[in-house]
Amino acid sequence: MRAVLNASRAPSIEEADTLLLYKNVHLPVEEDDEFEETTMSSVTKGGSIKDELLHETQKLNMLLLQQQ
């Protein structure tokens, strides 16, 4: 069955979406607790995630202004 799915071509976007969805149904769902350590360590290293995001957004805005 898997060989048929890998070899088949979808004639339309809707069929391609369905085919890709069916192929990826077997993939396991990632649990939030798997990533808990990484998010907590980034917060404890200094500053909050919101501050980091704000800083990156400001840098991007400055870069865009310079390019205009």
What are the tens digits of pLDDT across the range 18-60?
A: 777 777 776 666 666 656 565 555 545 556 888 888 888 988 8
Specify the pLDDT at position 5.
53
Place of tokens 């369905």: 18
Neighbour tally for 65: CB within 10 Å: 8
Question: 67 or 9: whose pLDDT is higher?
Answer: 67
Neighbour tally for 16: CB within 10 Å: 13
- Of 7, 45, 39, which is closest to residue 23 (Cα–Cα)? 7
Specify the pLDDT at position 13.
83
pTM: 0.32
Spatial separation of the C-alpha atoms in residues 39 and 32, rounded to whole Å: 10
Q: Which residues contact 8 (CB under 8 A, 6 or more apart)?
A: 19
